[in-house]
Amino acid sequence: MFVNFAPISLKLLFCSFNLGSMAVPSYLVNILDSNHVSAPKGSVPSTTLALTYLDLPWFPSAPMQSLFFYEFPHPTSHFMQTTLPTLTQSLSLTLQHFFPLAAKLICPPPPLKPYILYSDGDSVPLIVAEFTGADVDHLTANYPRDFKLLHPFVPELPPSTMSSDGILVRPIMAVKVTVFPNTGVCIGMAHNHVAADGSAFMHFMRSWSSVCKSKGDSTFLDKVSRRPFYNRDALGDPDGCNEEALKCYWHWISSWRENLAGPTKEISSVDKVRATFVLTRAQITKLKQWLTTQCKNSSNDSEEVKISTFVVTCSIMWICMIKSQENNIQVSTNGDDGDDTFYYLLFAVDCRNRIGFPLPVTYFGNCLAPGVIRAKKSELMGPKGIVTAGKVIAKKVKEMESGALKEAEKGPSNLEEMFRSGHHVGISGSPKFRVYDMDFGWGRPLKIEFIHIDDGGSLSLIESKNESGGMEVSLVLSKNQMDAFTSNLAESLKAF
């Protein structure tokens, strides 16, 4: 189960985080353990997995980063002696079924194709740390906090290496577990999006938490309906998508070799804060009723659009994001954007079990099509901006039910247009992930955070922790923009 075991002696580090104007105390960090966890020896044969046209576009992306906070009212010694052995054993057993996460990304130069290679003994780095002096209630709060506050709990992927024959080798996943003595535990995850989209990764997390809670019983993963599905053949190669995606990969790997640097996330040095906003079931019900009526009264189309929880949540959040951005633009540039400027919204659609994608929900890899929406600034900033947003989002959701394959094929050109505009908001996450169901045996999570939204261009959307039918939306903005966003959202909700 363990390879390259390298425990670190009790090493105390005093960390003082520079969080702008916000007063943040120094913390005592104790690195308790550092090792590698692999699937049971001999349980998985050496395996090569091809990458599809849905995997390849993710090479330039920075790692996906998520934090799972749990209540844990026990001393660190209890965690190390009782909990950690079960946690690592269950991770090992789960990796037997989700072996690509312990594998390597093999990235050769053109004209060769990249792939995932698993060899017996491949492992995932696991760091265990003790964090003394932190206020877990503050770390898991919904109110605005400095966005760097959570960074110490995110694991770093090991550095990429270059083989003797000039092939880049990249790790796929890393884990960091932080113990807050007598208070809580945070499980920090980082993984390469090329290997798994959100649905596949959360399938792994649900499985790991279930195995851990059952004290190592992984027999449920022997069932075909619960086991990850790896067959890529069903995707095929519609209209030469693989060749086009390979060209994008070859361009990326050539640039990487020239610059000798992997994907980085350039984040503005402006003081930013992270906050979470909760829409209750009652608020969402009112919004759906109001927006449905407004769309019917203002629609010229014969086809009625379906106003779902996803549609109303994205509509109101998109409008509030635009208004907060416009407030910032007016302050800095006197607002010289024209009213005919197009603003864009991007959300990913899980294509599993959709027309053109004969894949089960357990398919492990990437199976996302980009839903790109645009509308004029004048329409979105007007008195019926939420109605405009709701109609275009609902229409795109309807189109994607049967036209996801077409959207996947033309995705690169749509994304290029969107990114070139400079006016776009992305949606990360999904309420379908059921993240608050992930119980490792310590109860439901206190809070889930997605750190990869720190660039400020995206917001994460998950189900509410507190009630069925509610939604949690988290985002990172400059403090001025966050103040404007909060005010806009409160004002919008009062109108319904």
Tell me which residue has tokens 């991007």.
346
Contact criterion met (CB below 8 Å) for 295 and 311: no
**Can you list the residues of the chain whose pLDDT is less than 50?**
1-24, 262-263, 331-336
Q: By the 8 A CB rule, do 135 and 64 touch?
A: no
pLDDT tens, 163-189? 888 899 999 999 999 999 999 999 999
pTM exceeds 0.85: yes
92: left (phi over 0), alpha (psi -120 to 50) or beta: alpha
The widest CA-to-CA distance across the chain, in whole angstroms, is 70
| Strand ranges, E, within 183-267 | 184-191
Residue 423's pLDDT is 86
- Give catalytic residues, as residue numbers: 193, 439
Which residue has tokens 């979470």?
276
Per-residue model confidence (pLDDT) at position 17: 37
Other residues' Cβ atoms within 10 Å of the Cβ of residue 393: 26
Closest CA to 326 of 481, 482, 454: 481
- Rounded Cα gap, residues 218 and 252, in angstroms: 39
d(CA 458, CA 151): 17
- The pLDDT value given to residue 14: 32
Q: What is the pLDDT of residues 443-479, one digit of tens each?
A: 999 999 999 999 878 999 999 999 999 999 999 999 9
With a pLDDT cut of 70, the percent of the chain lying above it is: 89
Among residues 350, 384, 351, 481, the alpha carbon closest in space to that of 425 is found at 481
Tell me whether residue 159 is exposed, middle or buried, using C-beta atoms within 10 angstroms of its C-beta: 0 to 12, 13 to 18, 19 or more: exposed
CA 303, CA 399: separation in Å to the nearest integer?
Answer: 12
Q: Indicate the length of the chain as a whole number.
A: 496
The predicted pLDDT at position 22 comes to: 46
CA angle 339-343-344, nearest 5°?
165
